[in-house]
Amino acid sequence: MNSIKLILFSIALGLAPLQLLAEQQLPTQFDNNRIILIPELISGKKLRFFTDTGGGEYRTN
Q: What confidence tier does 54 reach under pLDDT thresholds 50, 70, 90?
A: low
15 pLDDT above the threshold of 80:
no
pLDDT at 32: 81
pLDDT at 22: 58
Alpha helices in the chain (DSSP H): 2-22
pLDDT at 56: 63
SS3 at position 34: strand
Task: Please give the C-alpha separations between residue 45 and each of 9, 38, 48, 49, in angstroms, as whole numbers.
Answer: 41, 10, 10, 13
Which tens digit of pLDDT belongs to each residue from 17-52? 655 555 667 788 888 878 888 888 889 999 898 877
Classify residue 8 by its DSSP letter. Answer: H
